[in-house]
Structure formats: structure tokens, C-alpha cells
Chain A
Amino acid sequence: AQSVTQPDIHITVSEGASLELRCNYSYGATPYLFWYVQSPGQGLQLLLKYFSGDTLVQGIKGFEAEFKRSQSSFNLRKPSVHWSDAAEYFCAVGARAGGTSYGKLTFGQGTILTVHP
């Protein structure tokens, strides 16, 4: 079964500082990987996704993520954080076509990002 671990429940950074949110996954093959952001009282917005190819993926709002197969990781990064980035971030893994998990995303428990001025 697929699973996702986000080791950091809460991260605090200063505005303008760099950011890295960790995500580790467990899946029997090369997974599809996603990062979503949830602002308070809102739904989830897709930041970026990895399917195959270039392991460094660019997303919206200046975010990027790097897929490292050897570490089973898909960490999210941003070089300079803005106050508006304060939100909760979810990493997710999706099963490839076939099997009984198709269509299903499995989410990590989320990382809350606080940004200090």
C-alpha cells in the first residue's frame, strides 16, 4: 500500500528566507507525486506534480520540488518565502494506472508553515 510521511508538523521561517518541506513516500514502483497547499478555510490547490522525466519540477507561486528515487523523497522548496505563503502544505502520492488504487491519492499529514515578518 502507498503511504506518505511529512516529518515536520510545523515549520516557521522568516519572510525572505528559503524553505524546504520534506516528504517521504512508500510505493512499490515509481509513483506520481503531488504537492497541494491549503489556506485556512479553503480547499486544496495543486502546486506541482511529478509524473516522470526531469526530477526537478517547477510549480506555481515560485515553488519547486525534486524527486529523489534513492531517498524516496519529494521535497518542496522555495528560495524566498513571502508572508502569503503561510498555509498548510500536503504531499500526496498517486497510484499509476492499474491495480485497485487507481485514481486514489494518499496524502501526508500536512506541514503547517508560519511566516514571520
Chain B
Amino acid sequence: DTAVSQTPKYLVTQMGNDKSIKCEQNLGHDTMYWYKQDSKKFLKIMFSYNNKELIINETVPNRFSPKSPDKAHLNLHINSLELGDSAVYFCASSHSLFVRQGDNYGYTFGSGTRLTVV
């Protein structure tokens, strides 16, 4: 069973469209994240949720709206897609919100969703 699964793996869409990326983790983790990896491979956090509660929202445009129906799922909806949104989006989860020694801490990443806006 895949620990953190994202769908779809590839997404090609036109400017102005609305699209969603889904993420599910079966690790029993409390915290989930969305990261964006740009064309230069730079990884930057977008959002984090802990037990369905939004914790981190890193200056992401309002067109991006995360939704966490339960702690095993964190979906990302993007409105009015722009060319600059083209990137690889990674979902990740961690055991807990705080990085604590003693936790088996470390993110588990999904395999990514490559979004191409044309």
C-alpha cells in the first residue's frame, strides 16, 4: 500500500481552468502538507494541516484553497490557473505537528503531481 498517494500524477490544463489534486495518507499521521517544487527544483511549503486544522499558509495566492475533510486527506483546489502555477506539487505527512526528538519524525512524501498550464 502506498503511504502517501496523490492523484493525478500528471495534469495538463489550460489557463483559467479550475483543477484539484487529491492526497491521502494511510500512515495514521496527524499532519499533512502541500509543497510546491518549481522549475529550478526549489521546494517551498504552501500549507500544513494538523488534525484538519490549517496551521501554515505561506503567502499563497487565494486561488489556492486546501481542504482537509479528515486527517487522512488533504486536497488542493486551484482556481483560475495561470502559467506560473506550472510546477510539481508534493503532498507530505508527518507523525505530528512538532518536530520532537523521540518521534519517528520525518516527512513522508507522495510521488508528486506535475501540473502543466498551457
Are B42 and A110 interface neighbours, CB within 8 A? yes
Q: Is the interface of B mostly helix, strand, loop or mixed?
A: strand
Are A103 and B97 interface neighbours, CB within 8 A? yes
Q: Is the interface of A mostly helix, strand, loop or mixed?
A: strand
Q: How many residues of A contact B (CB 8 A)?
A: 27
CB contact between A102 and one of B44, B99, B110 (< 8 Å): that residue: B99
Does B101 count as interface, using CB distance less than 8 angstroms? yes
Q: Complex: how many Å from CA A49 to CA B105?
A: 9
Does B27 count as interface, using CB distance less than 8 angstroms? no
CB contact between A97 and one of B56, B99, B112 (< 8 Å): that residue: B99
Q: Which residue of A lies closest to B108 (CB)?
A: A46
Chain A interface residues (CB < 8 Å from chain B):
32, 34, 36, 41-46, 49, 51-52, 88, 90, 94-98, 102-107, 109-110
A43-B109, A46-B106, A107-B44 are known contacts; what are 8 more A-B pairs with Cβ within 8 Å?
A: A44-B43, A46-B108, A96-B99, A102-B98, A103-B31, A107-B43, A109-B40, A110-B43
